[in-house]
Structure 1
Amino acid sequence: MRLFKALILLFVMASCTQKEKVDLIVSRGSVYTVDEEFTTAESFAVKDGKILAVGTAQEILDKYESDNIVDANGQFVYPGFNDAHCHFNGYAINLMQYADLRGTESPDEIYTLLMAHHDKFGGDWILGRSWDQNDWEVKDFPDKTKLDELFPDIPVYLVRVDGHAGWCNTKALELAGIKADTKVQGGEVLLKNGEPTGILIDNAMGFVGKLIPEITAEQQEKGLLEAQKNCFAAGLTSVTDCGLDKATILLMDEMQKDGNLKMRVNAMLNPTQENFDFFVKKGEAWKTDRLLVNTIKIYADGALGSRGALLMGDYSDDKGNSGLQIETQDYYDMICRLAYDNNFVVATHAIGNGANRLMLDTYGKLLKEKNDRRWRIEHSQIINPDDFEKFAAFSIVPSIQPTHCTSDMPWAEDRVGAERIKGAYAYQTLLNQNGWLPAGTDFPVEDIYPLYTFYSAVFRTDHSGWPEGGWHKYEGLTREQTLRSMTSWAAKSSFEEDQKGALKPGMWADFVILDTDLMKATPEEVLNTKILSTWSAGGKVF
């Protein structure tokens, strides 16, 4: 009897000390969980791609065992960064097709790059992306003169950094049938001495854009994988791609099912009939573990840099021009009704205070009161003071891109004047409307790197520290607010806050390990932060 009791006791003791086998343990880190209380931890266990438990290193190692233990050794662990507004597929295509003109300081520098690019790659077109006349000594729009001299027989199409203006040579204009009397709703063909200069604004770009040869599916797949590689290296595990067609979404789905595309994608739809018929009219979201389709993306106006943003009143530096309304009121009403009736989200690009008022009021006609539909205004860049409260009244989500603020600040007040600038890039005021907001980069308009988002939102300076103390610093976000905007609030903006965006039990084990404590780092330390590793569903992807 005594022996039997001893055996029972040993069995009970063994049962109590037996550890559960898991796929991964991250131990001895400084883990920012970004949960509701913004708690920190040392360790977590992962099973079947999801967080199983979070606690101290001792608590996790006492309860769980794994063949894969990552010793974070005091380094800093965050939820995987989520870019709430970008153009992932557009970036992929750029990698395959376009000369990179970002950071060029003169038209002459661009001409040199284009000649080198064409010598290397050839092709029936010369394509480029990301020039910005505001970075040049002479900040006027360029024209077609030199492009015609260098490339008289090859069409040239160069997209401005914001994607809202194109710069063409005469050959491209001729192929597109563009003449001095060419008109288009929501766009403009710029003229000089009665002739097209080669600059096309917003919807006028479509005349040339539709002629650009499409890349093959094989090229697109290669580009998406290269884009994913760069995103993982930057600490991104999720992106919202703002404007895709059915074929691209189905390609992404196929690549994800094959295991090649691990990036989580919230795919916003271009407003095409094919997309409406295939996705929207089913009345419910298309959702897998890595792909979500529940939003229609539309445009209310153009961009501030090309003076296409729709303002209430003229531009301060361009009298007689108040910007462009891209579509008619009837069009916006139709799209919003379609989305409302089918339980889809509407996300509208709106930069100027005129465009923001237009869409806030258009949304409000259907939404009427507070709700949980999470309709979005992308950019929410310049707001009339009387309109901020509409975000709260109708539960409209302002989706911001903090690097736009620090890119635009040298010239933004010249565009809109001292009074209107008070309602521009007003992130803290926007945050106060609903208590949360998502942030992104808008890459490839801005750099892909999410830590630049963090830097711009918190410090409100350029990378040299100008202006000292930060530009309109009172509208900056705190470090905690900014981290939430890049993780849990970004997930909330796509109705995925229960699946990702925080490191707590039941969530996908998407995380990034950095060498820097973002909650305490100096501006210089933030800029010099190293991404040590990136993980998706508990698997190392960088």
Structure 2
Amino acid sequence: MNFNLINGNIITLDQSNPIANSVTVKNDKILNIDNNNPKYHNIDLCGATIIPGFVDSHFHLTNLGKRLDMLNLKNCNSSQEIAKLVFEKSKTVNDNDWILGFGWDQTRWDENEFPKKTLLNDLNIMQPVMLTRIDGHSCWVNENAIKSSGLDSSIQIDGGDIVNGCILIDNAMNPIQESIPKSDDKMIQKWIKMAIKIIISRGITNIHDAWQTSDMIKNINFLIDKNEFPIRCYGMLASHDQQLISRYFNSGHYNSTYYTIRSVKAFIDGALGSRGAALFEPYSDDKHNCGLILISHDEFNELATNCKKAGFQLCTHAIGDKGNSMVIDTYSKTMKNISDHRWRIEHAQMVRDEDISKFYKNGIVPSMQPSHCTSDMRWMKDRLGEHRIHRISRWKSFIDSGCKIPGGSDCPIEEGNPLFEYYAAVTRKDHRGYPNTGWQPQECISRLDALKMLTSWGAYGEFAEHRRGKIKIGFDADFTVLSDNILTCDLDKILKTNILMTITNGKILKNIL
């Protein structure tokens, strides 16, 4: 379809032509700006704002759909409330079926502590139960799940921990996850399509999918072939699957209109919420715990070396200050004298002063999620102490040092709403406006930089800045149309802004103008 988008407030992010009134699309590309083609169909924006399409640079596509089919535990206020939900669910499923849930957060409960193993076991149900914490780095299980997996809860697990005999942290979760029956292709396709509907509704045109298995890749390609995958996806290969990454290392980068694979995802540590993020000093509320390292030094070095040889970007989850420092050291040694490699640290949530400058100096890209800051801020002082909370979510420090930050949400850990991420980045407040003055407000960033995080810097994070992330002649026709100008409107109107249109590859996927 060829068309002119007219009478708009077009924020191009192109320094040579920052503001425009109209843009012309021919097939899948931007043909003209402020030079309408009279032969093309006109779409009157009536003053609405157009920006380059939102990019969510850290997303979990299949998990979003999958977790819509699980027990939703996000709004539960106690472990007892969750146990009741599990008991009711047990009445509706077969004895051998797994009961799965997602989203619990003990910091939101009245008791504010991990649950005891008796709570689920005393339900006396037949089903194995696995309930994943909101951060995805720990789970709560019953005895049936432990027996089904063959897990020996008395042994030490490298990169993992077991608390109260029922809370499995990081690598301790692996035996449970491996014992859950594998999902078939139809189910995976269903989850992907469920997620795509939500993605389009939120104005997102492009996601960076931060852990792709062979089954996920197969089903994404199947849906693309059926014209049922209308968004762009930058896939990160799951590093635990040696066969998968070897196949891609041998064949090279994969590029198509909607799908790119040229990166690998790894994990160095866990999360702060479950005290698995690796710290230099112990947690303030757990004096004998400095977190977990999930991969050995030798394994990580070997992975980095293999990525370098194959020309693949390495994207490593690192949250704690020690975890980030370890990844920086490995990246800088492996990629010494190699310019513009854009190896990423996913989250980079807690970084020491002396490590900030090492990102830009060594060409390392911090890929960050603003709402992680505003979700975690309530308990951060208890977890880290007053002396360390300034190390959290240092967006402005990174930008001032020269870094570009691809921004995302880590959905379904967070909501996957770009406007929530934008608002958090400029205010350091959650989407309810708390706290009044913002949390650690010295790290607030400008509205323009926040917009770049969610558009042009996302394109940079996937080596696509020459064709996406700006509204510029010859670039891909990916746009998000907003009801208000989020660069200039009152702060409290940002979260009231509506997504009017989502346009990806020149195709109008959503239109409520």
TM-score range, shorter chain: over 0.9
2:8 and 2:254 map into 1 onto residues whose CA distance is 36
2:189 is aligned with 1:221: yes
Q: What stretches of structure 1 of length at least 5 have no aligned partner?
A: 1-21
1:434 and 1:273 map into 2 onto residues whose CA distance is 35
2:434 is aligned with 1:462: no
Q: Which has the larger Rg?
A: 1
CA-to-aligned-CA distance 1:382-430 (integer Å, 9 cap, x gap) = 1111111110221100000000000011111221122222221111111
Offset of residue 182 of structure 1:
2.4
2:505 and 2:38 map into 1 onto residues whose CA distance is 18
Q: Which residue of 1 aligns with 2:65?
A: 92
Q: Which residue of 2 aligns with 1:237?
A: 205
**For residues 261-272 of structure 1, what are the structure 2 equivalents within 5 Å?**
261-271=229-239, 272=241
Residue number among 77, 81, 93 corresponding to 1:109 in the alignment: 81
CA-to-aligned-CA distance 1:83-125 (integer Å, 9 cap, x gap) = 00011121122234x1111122212332333344444565701
Structure 1 runs, 4 residues or longer, greater than 6 Å off: none
What letter corresponds to residue 48 of structure 1 in structure 2? N
Residue number among 29, 41, 45 corresponding to 1:50 in the alignment: 29
Larger displacement relative to structure 2 (226-235 or 31-40): 31-40
2:367 and 2:163 map into 1 onto residues whose CA distance is 31
What letter corresponds to residue 30 of structure 1 in structure 2? N
Contact 2:313 2:341 in 1 (8 A): yes
Contact 1:182 1:189 in 2 (8 A): no
2:64 and 2:17 map into 1 onto residues whose CA distance is 33
What letter corresponds to residue 102 of structure 1 in structure 2? K
Q: Secondary structure at the match of 1:82?
A: strand
Residue number among 39, 42, 56 corresponding to 1:65 in the alignment: 39
Q: What stretches of structure 2 of length at least 5 have no aligned partner?
A: none
Q: Which residue of 2 aligns with 1:83?
A: 56
1:333 and 1:26 map into 2 onto residues whose CA distance is 50
Q: Which residue of 2 aligns with 1:3?
A: none
What percent identity do the matched residue pairs reach?
Answer: 34
2:442 is aligned with 1:474: yes
Offset of residue 254 of structure 1:
2.3
Contact 1:30 1:40 in 2 (8 A): yes
1:113 and 1:235 map into 2 onto residues whose CA distance is 33
> Closer, same or farther in 2 for the Cα pair 1:64/1:274, shift >3 Å?
farther
Q: Which residue of 1 aligns with 2:475?
A: 507
Offset of residue 462 of structure 1:
2.0
2:291 is aligned with 1:323: yes
> Closer, same or farther in 2 for the Cα pair 1:37/1:432, shift >3 Å?
farther
2:76 and 2:59 map into 1 onto residues whose CA distance is 22
Residue number among 497, 503, 506 corresponding to 1:529 in the alignment: 497
Q: Secondary structure at the match of 1:85?
A: strand
Contact 1:369 1:393 in 2 (8 A): no
What letter corresponds to residue 110 of structure 1 in structure 2? I
Contact 1:370 1:394 in 2 (8 A): no
1:120 and 1:532 map into 2 onto residues whose CA distance is 40
Q: Which residue of 2 aligns with 1:256?
A: 224
What letter corresponds to residue 26 of structure 1 in structure 2? L
1:307 and 1:23 map into 2 onto residues whose CA distance is 53
1:38 and 1:245 map into 2 onto residues whose CA distance is 41
Q: Which residue of 2 aligns with 1:139?
A: 112
> Closer, same or farther in 2 for the Cα pair 1:521/1:173, shift >3 Å?
same
Contact 2:63 2:191 in 1 (8 A): no
> Closer, same or farther in 2 for the Cα pair 1:77/1:118, shift >3 Å?
farther
1:120 and 1:476 map into 2 onto residues whose CA distance is 48
Larger displacement relative to structure 2 (305-314 or 208-217): 208-217
2:21 and 2:435 map into 1 onto residues whose CA distance is 37
Q: Which residue of 1 aligns with 2:122?
A: 149
Offset of residue 126 of structure 1:
0.5
Residue number among 18, 22, 27 corresponding to 1:39 in the alignment: 18
What letter corresponds to residue 101 of structure 1 in structure 2? L
Contact 1:45 1:64 in 2 (8 A): no
What letter corresponds to residue 298 of structure 2 in structure 1? D
Larger displacement relative to structure 2 (305-314 or 492-501): 492-501
Contact 1:157 1:166 in 2 (8 A): yes
What letter corresponds to residue 517 of structure 1 in structure 2? N
Offset of residue 274 of structure 1:
1.6
Q: Which residue of 2 aligns with 1:402?
A: 370
> Closer, same or farther in 2 for the Cα pair 1:106/1:260, shift >3 Å?
same
Larger displacement relative to structure 2 (499-508 or 447-456): 499-508
Contact 2:90 2:127 in 1 (8 A): no
